Amino acid sequence: MSKGRKHYRPVDGTKAPAPDSKPVPKNDTPNLNQTPAKTETKETAGNENFDVAMLRWTRVVGLFTAVLAIVGAVQAWSFIQSERAYLTVTNPSFIDGFVPNKQMVLMFLIKNTGRSPAELRNVAVTTKEKLIYPLKYDKMFEIGASPVAVGASEPYIYKGLNEKGDPFLMSEATISGVNSGNIKLYVFGFADYVDDFSVFGSRRSYFCYLYNPERSTPQTTAFNSCPVNY
């Protein structure tokens, strides 16, 4: 028996049909150099346009979110400022009168016109015959925490001291010059305090007054306000 190729015949004895020798149609032949179909190009362009649109939308949303955050921060800051304490130093007056050769003692009323309780921490009071801007303040006095309720007024007493720390005395000639108007007496300074929102920083209130001898009497003291230049 030969070991060549086996041939099979039909059972009925007829010959097997010869293989079709017709060439494969050109339309059925794969073309390796074929370019992408137009539909695929359109789909790719559509995806790119969608990505660009999404990128623009994301930027718009991010910008809008940033604007909202800034507006929210400004509103929160404005609310905090509106709710903070605000102290004013008012109604200066001489205790025991404005007399020569005696330590100058002044009393102020410190009023809280804000919306939160305050604690007075530091006070600086300066007396000068002239105002030279920017103002230079004398040594600041630290005091124990002194609470000032909302709408309340608390007295503060200042005892005048000279540069050496000794009691500040005014001579008879100086007193006479102030009372005649030839010498001016300015009293200015500031008050430092804290409140419930002091995590954002303490507060400072400035004041400036000019003694008015014409409206003053031995029983009452009159001061006019004067401009403050920080």
Whether 116 shows a pLDDT value over 60: the answer reads: yes
Closest CA to 94 of 224, 226, 222, 227: 222
The larger pLDDT score, comparing residue 40 to residue 111, is at 111
Backbone angles phi, psi at 204, to 5 degrees: -140, 130
Final residue belonging to a domain, choices 53, 83, 113:
83
At 149-161, the pLDDT tens digits run: 999 999 999 998 8
> Mean pLDDT over residues 20-26, rounded?
57
Final residue belonging to a domain, choices 21, 54, 83:
83
Closest CA to 128 of 187, 76, 74: 187
pLDDT given at position 208: 96
Whole-model pTM over 0.85? no
> Mean pLDDT over residues 45-71, rounded?
77
- Map the chain to HEC letters: CCCCCCCCCCCCCCCCCCCCCCCCCHHHCCCCCCCCCHHHHHHHHHHHHHHHHHHHHHHHHHHHHHHHHHHHHHHHHHHHHHHCCCEEEEEEEECCCCCCCCECEEEEEEEECCCCCEEEEEEEEEEECCCCCCCCCCCCEEEEEEEECCCCEEEEEEECECCCCCECECCHHHHHHHHHCCCCCEEEEEEEEECCCHHHCCEEEEEEEEECHHHCCCCCCCEEECCCCC
Looking at the structure, tell me whether residues 217 and 105 fall in a common domain: yes
pLDDT given at position 16: 56
Looking at the structure, tell me whether residues 123 and 191 fall in a common domain: yes
Looking at the structure, tell me whether residues 72 and 107 fall in a common domain: no
Final residue belonging to a domain, choices 56, 83, 110:
83
At 96-110, the pLDDT tens digits run: 889 999 999 999 999
At 134-152, the pLDDT tens digits run: 999 987 776 777 899 999 9
**Is 133 within the bounds of a domain?**
yes
**Is 143 within the bounds of a domain?**
yes
**Is 31 within the bounds of a domain?**
no
Residue 118 in contact with residue 84, Cβ under 8 Å? Answer: no
User: By residue range, what is the domain housing residue 154?
Assistant: 87-225
> Which pLDDT band holds residue 186 (cuts at 50, 70, 90)?
very high
**Is 30 within the bounds of a domain?**
no
Q: What percent of the chain has pLDDT over 90?
A: 44
pLDDT given at position 13: 56
